[in-house]
Amino acid sequence: MIFINVFSIFYIIVFSLIVLVIAVQNARTRKSFDSCREQKNEKGNPLIVCTRSFEPIGDIWTEIYCIEAKRETKKKDKKETGKKSDNQNDDDEQEVDNHLVYLVIPGNPGISTAYVYWLQEMVRLFYENLSKNETQKKWVKMTAMTISHANHCMDKDNQNKHKIFTLEEQIQHKVQFLHYLFERKFAKHANIQFVIAGHSIGSYIALKCLDHLHQANETCL
């Protein structure tokens, strides 16, 4: 009996430590999320913007994090002469829509919050290196996004009703999300390129999504 009680206490301690680690991680993520929203550039305008939303992807309400950095672009001189300012390039107007979208599909437990800090750092470095990296100069804006697995993060009104989804359904969910990005969120953006990445099982899902897109002759990734 004493032997059993010792093991029970041990498992309770381990479980408590796991809960504590998760709570600390969530607190750190929330802190980084808040600081991300508050970052300003030298002119006082938002430099990095983080948003969290629940969107209907198909019939599944899904948690989505979106983190963006925007490079300043030079605007045309609005004088009546129609002349450009001295420091404006001929291709400024084309560069305004040059947009890079980086999407991460999570691994288990499939909660997008865990990736916010990492994506925030990626976007920050993207912005810092725009003037240094010749390859990056063509991109005016970067959007980093991550999406929770279907019903792995309960929406406020519990509209998903605790439904359990199979792996194939999770893959279809991500394919639907990609169509949401192509056809709705970024439909009006010119010269846009998508990069899709995955962590752990998310890598497998990403590859399956690519198979679906290639079969449909969609080549924007």
Which domains are present in the chain?
2-72+95-215 (3.40.50)
- Angle, CA 139 vertex, CA 217 and CA 199 arms, to 5°: 60
Q: Which amino acid is at 62?
A: T
CB of 134 closer than 8 Å to CB of 155: no
State pLDDT tens for residues 81-138: 444 444 443 333 334 468 889 999 999 889 999 999 999 988 888 888 776 776 666 7
Query: β-strand 99-105 against 48-57: which pairing, if any?
Result: unpaired
State pLDDT tens for residues 175-205: 999 999 988 888 887 788 899 999 999 999 9
Query: Sign of the CA dihedral 12, 15, 21, 23?
Result: negative
Q: Which helix (H) or strand (E) holds 64?
A: strand 60-70
The pTM score is 0.69
Identify the burial level of 136 via C-beta atoms within 10 angstroms of its C-beta, where 0-12 means exposed, 13-18 middle and 19 or more buried: middle
Nearest to 35 by CA among 111, 94, 121, 104: 121
